[in-house]
Amino acid sequence: MIKAEAADLPDDGRLKMPDRLRRRASRLLSHLTSRSDRLITEGLARADARKWHYAVLASLQEYGPASQAELSRRSGIYRSDMVGVLNELAGRDLVERTPDPDDRRRNVITISARGRRQLRRLDQVLDDLHEQLLAPLSRAERDQFVQLLTRLLDHHTPGS
Amino acid sequence: MIKAEAADLPDDGRLKMPDRLRRRASRLLSHLTSRSDRLITEGLARADARKWHYAVLASLQEYGPASQAELSRRSGIYRSDMVGVLNELAGRDLVERTPDPDDRRRNVITISARGRRQLRRLDQVLDDLHEQLLAPLSRAERDQFVQLLTRLLDHHTPGS
DNA sequence: AACCAACGTTAGTAACACTAACGTTCCTGG
DNA sequence: CCAGGAACGTTAGTGTTACTAACGTTGGTT
């Protein structure tokens, strides 16, 4: 964690930003996501968590214990990154990682009672953060927004 | 540039991804932006360009010559990163960088004829790429989408 | 028995957004 | 008028994210 001290682009110069630039969906997406990520990351940090923690915990809660590779597929986290995430989760006693007796290549990851409690907390935190994120939109607009995003993402996701 | 050979998350496991995860706007944004960025980056690479190139060229074309710091403000690129971008642009003879006689701290950046031609080309390329990006949406939906993004971004932009 | 696939793990990459600090030049106000 | 601070271009470095490559171990298949 690093303290932000002096902003370098304080007043936004969008006053003088060409429309062709400002209106490009790709650019809007990048910038908004940048803000959104920061908001979420900082919010979760206050709860001693990271985005991946939530993804893994939610997936465990929803579909039960699984191997790391299986979790990787469920949550979209690369299995190379999963290692570190599970180290953190296990270090906080939110999950348990035990070797699978039926397949000694695998670990079985199980969510703990603490993990379930933390997940509930994170769900709350994320609700609050999304309230902030989507504040300017009405209920209907939020739904619209999520729907548009979903359709776009589906369209650009390999394997249908 | 790196060749993608073996995808590691081939079939998406969203079949087994909890709704609470899949539906979060922040997550949709992150993932979609990731795809979008890749699409745009690769498309521009084929035209020997990067996003920043477009931003700078467009800003120069629209508002005329400027110092690096001014360009930085216009385009949202940090002035520490601007250096490299302008090196690339100057290396391709798309802009000219000359010391400002009126203020010897500054460089005056000017777009060249080649730069203008390249900008026209990039505008075309970006139109095509956005056509792909937004393919699943109707005209009206695209406008809606851009409008929602804009409102959200404005709301989360410091300095109004 | 021979192979290949999958598993967990380590290491490394490139892009992005951002901070810090340096020397030079300029502008201002006491 | 001159002292201090601010702006400029530049270099260096940070942490995060997405992703590839390769390793040794284990498992399933023929």
The sign of the CA dihedral A129, A132, A133, A134 is: positive
CA distances from A94 to A46, A57, A59, B56 (A): 17, 8, 13, 47
Q: Which of A6-20, B58-72, B106-120 shows the lowest per-residue confidence on average (mean pLDDT)?
A: A6-20
Q: Classify residue A66: in a domain, yes or no.
A: yes
Domain annotation covers residue B155: no
Euclidean distance between CA atoms B17 and A114, whole angstroms: 22
A29 falls within a domain: no
In a domain, residue A4? The reply is: no
CA atoms of A74 and A51, how far apart (whole Å): 14
Q: Which among A17, A72, A146 has the least Cβ separation from residue B23?
A: A146
Q: Which of residues 28-57 of B touch A (CB under 8 A)?
A: 28-33, 35-37, 39-40, 51, 54-55
Q: What is the DSSP letter of A18?
A: -
Residue B39 has pLDDT above 70, yes or no: yes
The CATH number of the domain holding residue B93 is 1.10.10.10
Between the alpha carbon of residue B86 and those of residues A3, A87, B89, B128, the distances in Å are 29, 43, 5, 25
Domain extent, residue B109, equals: 48-148
Residue B94 belongs to some domain of the structure: yes
Residue A159's pLDDT band (cuts 50, 70, 90): low
Judged against a pLDDT cut of 90, whether residue B13 lies above it is answered with no
Predicted confidence at residue A3, as pLDDT, reads 35
Provide the token pair at A98: 């035990």
pLDDT score, position A19: 82
Helix (H) or strand (E) run with residue B98 in it: strand B95-99
